[in-house]
Amino acid sequence: MPCAPQWAPRLALVKIGVILPAAEVDGEGETPQWRTTRSFALAAEAHGLDSVWMFDHFFNRLPDGTTEGMHEAWTIVSAVLAVTERIEVGTLVMCSTFRNPGLLAKMAATADAVSGGRLILGLGAGWHDPEYDAFGFPRDRRLARFEEYLRIVVPLLRGETVSFRGRYHGVDRAVLAPPPAHHVPVLVAADGPRMLRLAARHADAWNTAWYGEPGPALRDALAAFDAALAAEGGDRASVARTVGMVVHDPEHPVDHDDEGPAFDGSVAELADAIDAYAALGVDHLIVLLQPLTERSLDRLALAIARRDAR
């Protein structure tokens, strides 16, 4: 049976994961079908990658009003956990507003039991307003709602009986029965002082994204989290640092516009860039491949093999 994920920092042995293709922007004019997502996840596992990750959105609405489709995150995560055997499966990240905190904790404990301890539960406060408006979710005071959410989800996953009454969420002697069989790592995606403090206080892992080559922006983000962790009385070994990296295949440019930072070097240069992330103390590198295809995955695997051969 696979062991629960280990979050101790590993400099040279930085974990490497990839985002799953499950959104219209990842396909050729349509949202990828399940067989495509499944094949990609199995290929990532066969290549020896450490993890695959799923975004959590109902859709993406562009400024011109165009709506891009995507599959529901928890359904895809559960299916991938069921068809894989070794690889960790994470959420980047579940929007706290979309699901009741007690229900989400129960779902996470059950999915983790099915997988034998391979779930990474990433959580965030949410941001894409068109989803909230379309489906009737409140989008006021998202950070305050998220703070209450963590105060319910995290102790439930740690096997505690939880009673909490906040402004937005409440539970009364809630318990997960059966209790979680493994330690389910909770990841919080965060920037800004308040969110960083919440990650330092509650999480097993913190995420910052998106970057190309590591540079001053990433160093500043890492330093800001270190400061938040120190303010909460934590230590460097207590919370893993996960970083999102965008990698373009220069021979196969993407069709859609992407104005964010991205890495577009050769396979050898990609191996060097991964080394540079590891040298900064990154514990888990989460790669968004562009285009998001198995060919791009093969290319990433070549870069990893090049590092391993050194």
Domain boundaries, the chain: 15-308
- The rounded distance, in Å, linking the Cα atoms of 175 and 292 is 39
Fold of 15-308: TIM Barrel (3.20.20)
Range list of H helices, 63-170: 73-83, 101-115, 129-135, 142-157
List of residues 6+ apart from 132 with CB closer than 8 A: 97, 126, 138, 139
Question: Taking the mean position of all CA atoms in its chain, how far away is CA 14?
Answer: 16
- Whole-model pTM: value is 0.93
| Residues 197-227: tens digit of each pLDDT | 999 999 999 999 999 999 999 999 999 999 9
| Residues 111-158: tens digit of each pLDDT | 999 999 999 999 999 999 999 999 999 999 999 999 999 999 999 999
| Residue 80 and residue 74 in contact, taking contact as beta carbons nearer than 8 Å | no
3-state SS assignment for residue 300: helix
Say which range, 42-51, 184-193, 258-267, has the weakest mean pLDDT. Answer: 258-267
Q: Which of 187, 179, 229 is nearest to 208 (CA)?
A: 187
